[in-house]
Amino acid sequence: MAEIIQKDGTWAFDGDALRLTPGRDKAVGVLRRTLGELVVPLEALAGVSFEQGRKSGRLRLRLREGTDPLLQATGGRLTEPHDPYQLVVESDRYGVAEYFTDEVRGALLLDEVESGPATAYLLPGPQVPLSMSAGDGTASFDGEQVRLEWNWKTEDVKAAAGPRTLALKEIAAVEWQPAAGLENGCLRFTVKDAPTKAPPKYDPHAVELWGFKRDLLMALVAAAVQARLPHPSTPADRPRTVAAPAAGPPAAEDETDALLRRLRELGELHHAGVLTQEEFTLAKQAVLKRL
C-alpha cells in the first residue's frame, strides 16, 4: 500500500481505491473538514499528478467527468484549500509523493481504466440528512425533500412567500456558485416547468451567498441533491431507472483469451519501456495466477 501523511491530510492507496483523509491543520478548508474522509475507487480516476515547488508541492487527482456529484454540482469552482482532490506536500516528502504518483499511475495502466466520461456516479456524495446555513437562508435535505428557510437578511419579496419545500422529483437541476468580486454567489434549484431568471436575492428557490466562509458548506447540499438526480449522461426523455443486475461471469475460454491477450500487452509495454522489469514481473505473476 502506498501512503503519504502530511499536515494537510493523509492519502492512502491500496490498489483498488484511494482513501483521502483531511488533516487537522488550520489551513485545511472548512469544506474538506466537514466532508470528511473520501474513498475514491480507482475507476473514477482520469489521472494523477505531482507538482514540485520551492517550499511545497501539490498532489492532484483528476477525476473522470461525471463520477463525482460534488464536482458536478460545483462546476469545477472549488479551489485550494477547499478542493478535496489536492494535497499540499512538504518539500522533505517529495520522494514519497513521487512514489505515490507512480503507484497510482501504474495501477491505472495495468487495470486499463478508461479516462472518458462516466455514465453513473462512482462516488456517493455527502451523507444525508444535512442542513447548512449561509447568506440569506438555510438549506436542508433529507434525501427526498429540500427545505429552504429564510432569515432576517432575506429580501421581503422572497421572505413573504415563507419557507419552500421541494420534493426531489420536482427538481430539474441544482448548482452552487461562489461569490466572485462584486457578484454574489448562490445555491439554486431549478424547478421543473418553473424556470426563472430572477437574481438569487429574489428567487424563492435560491439561497443568496455573500462570500463568507460558510458559503462552501452549501456546496455539500448541492452535491447531496445532485447525487440523487438523474446522471448528466441520462437522456432527458428517459426517466432514471434502477441499474440492471450485472451480467454473469464470462465463459472460461473467453476469460483465458483475455488473460493471454493481457500477457502480450504487458510484454509490449515492457519492451517499449513503459513498465520497469519489476512492474512487468509483478503484473505478469498476477495474470498467471488468474490463469
**Left, alpha or beta for 211 (phi > 0: left; psi -120 to 50: alpha)?**
left
At 290, the pLDDT band (50, 70, 90 cuts) reads low
State the average pLDDT over residues 187-202. 89
Q: How far is it, in rounded angstroms, from Cα 230 to Cα 286?
A: 38
pLDDT(225) > 80 = yes
What cell does 285 get?
A: 505473476
Q: Is residue 174 within 8 Å of 229, Cβ to Cβ?
A: yes
CA neighbor of 57 nearest in space, from 23, 32, 12, 94: 94
Q: How far is it, in rounded angstroms, from Cα 111 to Cα 94?
A: 26
What burial letters (b/e) apply to 198-218, b meaning 16+ CB within 10 Å?
eebbebbbbbbbeeeeebbbb
The whole-angstrom distance between residue 264's C-alpha and the CA centroid of its chain comes to: 35
Least confident of 26-30, 138-142, 286-290: 286-290
pLDDT(248) > 60 = no
Q: What is the structure's pLDDT at 244?
A: 40
Q: How far is it, in rounded angstroms, from Cα 44 to Cα 233?
A: 15
State the average pLDDT over residues 85-92. 95
pLDDT(93) > 60 = yes
Higher-scoring residue by pLDDT: 168, 246: 168
Q: How far is it, in rounded angstroms, from Cα 118 to Cα 210?
A: 33
Alpha-carbon dihedral sign for residues 78, 33, 171, 156: negative
Q: Is residue 286 within 8 Å of 259, Cβ to Cβ?
A: no
What does residue 23 show for φ and ψ, rounded to 5 degrees? -80, 180
> How does DSSP assign 210-250, residue by residue?
-S-TTHHHHHHHHHHHHTTSPPTTS-TTS---PPPPPPPPP
